[in-house]
Amino acid sequence: MHKSALAVAVGTFAFAAFGMTGPASASAAGPTICNTITGVSACWQPDGDYFSVVDTAADGHHVEVAWAVPGRQGICQNFLGNGYQEICTYDFPEHQLLAFSTSVWEGNELIRSSKQVNACTSPAGGICS
């Protein structure tokens, strides 16, 4: 089932090595960390504690980002379709390690998923634990 597969995926990536594995860019609002694969692009913006998840393929699939911080995990889903962006806002404690991965789904079937990307919940970066 979809939720079981997701829980396993989040649990697995949350405890993986903590090195950066995806592209990063800087902005005036703080570092934006993105994770992109065919069909989905998800970016974490620590200044505002939100993910933007964009469906980038006209394939009828929905896309999501699975995330985990110490003691908490979840998903942000986008069912809006190709070219549309979903924004999911959270209130994470500062200086926490945030691990996330993107995926493409057909109903409850996983089509493809990205490698884990790690970021800091603090807009200023710094030491994350």
pTM of the prediction? 0.77
d(CA 90, CA 49): 5
pLDDT, one tens digit per residue, over 54-66 is 999 999 999 999 9
pLDDT, one tens digit per residue, over 64-75 is 999 999 999 999
Structure confidence at residue 20 (pLDDT): 29
For residue 65, the tally of other CB atoms under 10 A from its CB is 26
